């Protein structure tokens, strides 16, 4: 009986996870109602355009800390790794930017591909100090790029302020970015999150400006 209870508990956990994924997917990408053509034209003119930005990278790369800076203009460096999904909305220049971060642990990376075709920009965050897992980060990145050969990529070389961080040139070489499709818009930027309570680094402001420009170029 204990063995059957264990199986039942495991199935229940799987069902709960899948249910959460389905709900988040529906809420994030399909929360739309049907409108008449006239209603749609009015809404299109008066409402900000919605743009979806996918934020990926291995666990511990600093995705949550960067998103927190972008959204709240405050610094919170020691954020816990995202264990599921983290949705952040930012309004800027007539656009509503919907950021969706998906955790980078092994069990969550299988969901990454499911969200690529709804995104206008892919942000991929790499821990510049984690040289041991850099090959894995590169492998997962190139797997994503094969799924969508034209999706604009903003690659953030994070934690540049820490000892042992690889510079931009080394990361470009080690991540094999020279193999990326030349037709893809690719931007490699150095970022870091300063101590809690300090001013937001200029690199984070630059990231927000770049994303805004990329989004404004897409219809």
Note the pLDDT tens digit of each residue in 5-23.
Answer: 444 444 444 444 444 444 3
What number of residues does the chain have?
A: 219
Distance separating alpha carbons of residues 101 and 85, to the nearest angstrom: 6
pLDDT at 124 exceeding the cut of 90 = yes
Average pLDDT over residues 72-86: 68
pLDDT at 195: 64
Residue 30 confidence (pLDDT) above 90? no
pLDDT for the residue 89:
87
- Paired tokens of 136: 């894995």
Tokens of 84: 């599921």
Buried b (16+ CB within 10 A) or exposed e, 89-120: ebebeebebbbbbbbbeeebbebbeebeeebb
Give the Cα separation of 52 and 54 in Å (integer): 7
Residue 60 has pLDDT above 70, yes or no: yes
**CA 79 to CA 76: how far, in whole Å?**
7
pLDDT band at 38 (very low <50, low <70, confident <90, very high): low
The label of the residue with tokens 């950021």 reads 99
CB 171 within 8 A of CB 186: no
193 has pLDDT over 90: no
What are the angstrom distances between the C-alpha of 124 and each of 33, 170, 186?
Answer: 31, 17, 11
Give the pLDDT of residue 103. 92
Q: Could you tell me the pLDDT band of residue 78, with boundaries at 50, 70 and 90?
A: low
pLDDT value at position 10? 46
Q: CB burial class (10 A; 0-12, 13-18, 19+) of residue 55?
A: buried
Which two three-digit tokens encode residue 80?
């816990």
Is pLDDT at 3 greater than 60 in this prediction?
no
Q: Is residue 152 pLDDT above 70, yes or no? A: yes
Report which of residues 181 and 157 the model is more confident about: 157
User: CB within 8 A of 20, min separation 6: which ones?
Assistant: 84, 85
Average the pLDDT over 69-81 and give the result.
67
Q: Specify the pLDDT at position 218.
A: 61
Query: What integer best gives the mean pLDDT of the chain?
Result: 78
Q: Are 144 and 122 in contact (CB under 8 A)?
A: yes
């Amino acid at each position: 009986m204990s063995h059957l209870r264990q199986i039942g508990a495991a199935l229940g956990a799987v069902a709960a996870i899948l249910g959460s994924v389905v709900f988040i997917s529906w809420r994030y990408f399909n929360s739309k109602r049907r409108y008449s053509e006239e209603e749609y034209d009015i809404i299109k003119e008066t409402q900000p355009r919605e743009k979806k930005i996918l934020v990926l990278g291995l666990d511990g790369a600093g995705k949550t800390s960067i998103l927190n800076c972008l959204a709240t203009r405050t610094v919170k460096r020691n954020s816990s790794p995202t264990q599921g999904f983290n949705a952040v909305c930012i309004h800027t220049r007539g656009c509503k930017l919907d950021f969706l971060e998906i955790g980078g642990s092994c069990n969550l990376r299988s969901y990454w591909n499911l969200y690529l075709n709804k995104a206008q920009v892919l942000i991929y965050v790499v821990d510049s100090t984690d040289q041991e897992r850099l090959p894995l980060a590169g492998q997962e990145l190139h797997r994503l790029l094969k799924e969508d050969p034209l999706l604009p990529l903003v690659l953030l070389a994070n934690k540049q302020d820490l000892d042992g961080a690889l510079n931009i040139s080394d990361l470009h070489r080690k991540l094999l970015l020279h193999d990326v499709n030349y037709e893809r818009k690719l931007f490699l930027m150095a970022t870091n999150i300063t101590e809690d309570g300090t001013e937001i680094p200029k690199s984070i402001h630059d990231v927000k400006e770049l994303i805004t420009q990329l989004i404004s170029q897409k219809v």
